[in-house]
Amino acid sequence: MLTEGHVSLVTGAALGIGAGIAELFARNGAAVYLLDIDAAGAEVKAAQIRAAGGEAHAMKCDVSHRGDCAAAVEAAMKRHGRIDSLINNAGIYPRRVFLETSEADWDRMQEVNVKSLMHTCQLVLPHMIARGSGKIVNISSVTLWIGVEKLVHYVTSKGAVLGFTRSLAREMGRHNIHINAVTPGAIKTEGEDIHAVPAEIAAIQAQQCLDRRIMPYDVAAACLFLSSPLSDGMTGQTLNVDGGLYLH
């Protein structure tokens, strides 16, 4: 499905959705760079991918720091001479009552969930423009469509991701660069117990059209499609991967 010699950067790839994306891309022949602030976790996942026969490289990267992002892009370009896709998946999700949200809470959310996209895209796009092709997928959230209490700062950041995606798609289309977004729903990941109790998860599943948990693979499959030639007619679009929780 991916082009031969495909090279992909995936942020937030040590666990959860990002790890699922890295695994699926590697199984489809991509050389994958796993960027994560958790360097040890990224290396564990990269080692698992290599053990399964894929090519994977772990990079310590706090996506809110431009220097970290630049080092990862430089490493990929030095080794492979190309970057075909960038998956902006890294994000944070702390719950806060709005009236108890500090300015520091707000700023950190926007730095990780939004400003990081400026860093990675500004660093990767010149290389894509030079080659006349590229695919960028930005991970937003279904919470944007429905609104969720105690997550005003998070939902605001994920709304910004869609605005960023659509506007950048307008600028980059002339260079044959495709920029799309995915809005995941309630995904079964290692860290979901931090954010929800089983009863809350069951209630969400009951509202879905599909009566099953949505897995990282489901989101990864959408990202694979958006990074492959199969989506060459699409840019500035959003794919909702939530089992039919929200229909739009």
Q: What crossing angle do the helices spanning 152-172 and 103-110 adopt, rounded to 10°? A: 30
Summary mean pLDDT of the chain = 97
154 belongs to the catalytic site: yes
Burial of 177 (0-12, 13-18, 19+ CB in 10 A): buried
Q: What structural domains does the chain harbor?
A: 7-241 (3.40.50.720)
Give the tens place of pLDDT for each residue, 167-197: 999 999 999 999 999 999 999 998 777 777 8
Per-residue pLDDT at 248: 82
Cβ neighbours of 103 (radius 10 Å) = 7
Q: Mean pLDDT over residues 29-37, rounded?
A: 98
Catalytic residue among 93, 154, 217, 246: 154
Burial of 171 (0-12, 13-18, 19+ CB in 10 A): exposed
Per-residue pLDDT at 218: 98
Q: Mean pLDDT over residues 107-113, rounded?
A: 98
What residues pair up with 180 in beta bridges, in sequence order? 137
Q: Where is average pLDDT lowest: 58-67, 183-192, 201-210, 214-223?
A: 183-192
Confidence of residue 20 (pLDDT cuts 50, 70, 90): very high
